[in-house]
Chains A and B, each alone.
Chain A
Amino acid sequence: MRKRPTLQFYNEPLPGVDTSELQGKLIVIEGPDAVGRSTQIALLRQWLEQEGHAVLDTGMARSALAGKGIKLAKQGNTLGPITMTLFYTTDFADRLENEIIPALRAGFVVLIDRYIFSIMARAIARGEDRRWIEQVAGFALVPHAVYYLRAEVQHLVSRVVLGRGAFDYWESGMDLRFGADMYESFVRYQARLIKALDSMVEPYGFTVIDAGQGIPQIFRDLQRQLGRLQLGRVRARKPATKKVRN
């Protein structure tokens, strides 16, 4: 059997995790707000399951521990940038330890809608120290692939207007008031996020996907990229009676 490369931690190994047990694949979709990540994840999940892979998908603020607390904190107007960064990191750690790692142990393909990179980009866009957050998030596993859905700000604006029809307070960085109104603030804040994500392409080995294309084209690009990962073919099992055990 071909030996799979073992998953590793960026910086700081989590206590009690033996990475040699992690047999699954860790796939990350990154990108700014409203770029179309969740659409692609839904398509990928369907496709991968049809191919016979067990899939777990997870995303920000979905942890059992902190998801609810984050949503409540975002309803108020006192959530500071460092607090926000650490709350999301707590949420990520809870999902990593209690969902992602167990799924990898069981051989799942884990699809993650935003990893530590979005947390880092938001912190950097708010003027926090890059080295600080990189070290804080250093307990993350290095994914097998990070697909960065990249688009220009103007494209995101069109998607927001045509889709939801309104700008979101946090997606517009209104906690820091980047502009006179939600639109201006959205444009400046998202430009900063994109810049921060762009700066991670090389050090973190992102694969850039052009998200200015239509949904089917983006999906085809993702399928092509995922094909290179050799997720393992699902073959018909031999009849159980032939198995010899001693």
Chain B
Amino acid sequence: MSVFEPNTYRGKLIVVEGIDGSGKSTQISLLSHWLRSQGYAVVFSEWNSSPLVKQTTRRGKRKEMFTPTTFSLLHATDFADRMESYIQPLVKSGAIVCADRYAYTAFARDVARGVSRSWVRNLYRFAMHPNLSFYFRVPLDVALGRILGGRDALKYYEAGMDLGLARDVEESFRIFQGRILDEYEAMAAEMGFEIIDATLSIEQQQRRMREIVMNELGESLKTSVLHLPLGMDFNAQTTDPPVL
């Protein structure tokens, strides 16, 4: 049985995955802007951004109310809302949806938190199967160096502090990210990830990504063939892709 629902629509779904500090957000941002400049209708969806759910998530984090199970379920709720109200209708319309993190993030992170692997996989069964899933492979130390060097204090759940792995936040983060990395590596082949070596230069990674994406997209999805109502232009107003 397949992990997800097949994408039977005209549009495409491209997702990026990897541990914190792998550089995936930089890469998907470069890619989506470039695709737009090439005449594709591109929209962008971010993990944890549903207007219906994100306040609840924020509250749960601030008050440290989550257990592994409720953390997993609430993130799946957020994902479901974006899938039902945003990603699916847009892919249906022929758009290219770029997602920064996808269900694989939950597969890696929730299992690293102690949630059952089969349960969390079933939880996301309603998700659309991406056309391309990029996995930014990076050694733990490189990613940690990028994160711990130049950022504000690590957050409680991000560092896996709820698991009591270590009393020191950085040490906890290190152990938790290591577990997540192991989960990503374990599913890479099964999920058919396009693996990008995230130790390469930003330019080299982007070049590789664009090659793979162009191979998948072809020319037929450029905006001229989108069936938009008369007088409505996908690209008319803004230069930035809309974000949800």
Cβ-based interface call for B73 (8 A): yes
Q: What residues on B are CB-neighbors of A66 within 8 Å?
A: 56, 74
- Interface pair B52/A78, CB less than 8 Å apart: yes
- Interface pair B83/A82, CB less than 8 Å apart: yes
Given contacts A15-B114, A81-B84, contact A93 B73 (CB under 8 A): yes
- Interface pair A139/B69, CB less than 8 Å apart: yes
Cβ-based interface call for B122 (8 A): yes
Given contacts A86-B77, A90-B70, A90-B73, contact A15 B65 (CB under 8 A): no
- Nearest residue (CB) in B for A68 is B56
Please classify how large the interface on chain A is, using the bins under 10, 10 to 19, 20 to 34, 35 or more.
20 to 34
Cβ-based interface call for B204 (8 A): no
Cβ-based interface call for B28 (8 A): no
Cβ-based interface call for B60 (8 A): yes
Q: What residues on B are CB-neighbors of A132 within 8 Å?
A: 122, 125-126
Cβ-based interface call for A181 (8 A): no
Nearest CB in chain A: distance from B244 CB, A: 12
Cβ-based interface call for B53 (8 A): yes
Nearest CB in chain A: distance from B220 CB, A: 29
Q: Which of A59-115 contact B (CB under 8 A)?
A: 64-66, 68-69, 72-73, 76, 78-83, 85-87, 89-90, 93-94, 97-98
- Interface pair B77/A83, CB less than 8 Å apart: yes
Cβ-based interface call for B37 (8 A): no
- Interface pair B56/A15, CB less than 8 Å apart: no
Q: What residues on B are CB-neighbors of A14 within 8 Å?
A: 69
Cβ-based interface call for B81 (8 A): yes
CA distance A135 to B59 in the complex (A): 27
- Interface pair B116/A12, CB less than 8 Å apart: yes
Given contacts A69-B53, A76-B52, A138-B119, contact A90 B125 (CB under 8 A): no
Nearest CB in chain A: distance from B54 CB, A: 9
Q: What are 30 A-B residue pairs whose CB atoms fall within 8 Å in the complex? A: A12-B116, A14-B69, A15-B115, A64-B65, A65-B59, A65-B60, A65-B66, A69-B53, A72-B52, A73-B52, A76-B52, A78-B52, A78-B85, A80-B80, A82-B126, A83-B50, A83-B81, A83-B84, A83-B85, A86-B76, A89-B73, A90-B73, A90-B74, A90-B77, A93-B67, A93-B70, A94-B70, A129-B125, A132-B126, A138-B119
A interface residue numbers (CB < 8 A to B): 11-12, 14-15, 64-66, 68-69, 72-73, 76, 78-83, 85-87, 89-90, 93-94, 97-98, 129, 132, 135-136, 138-139
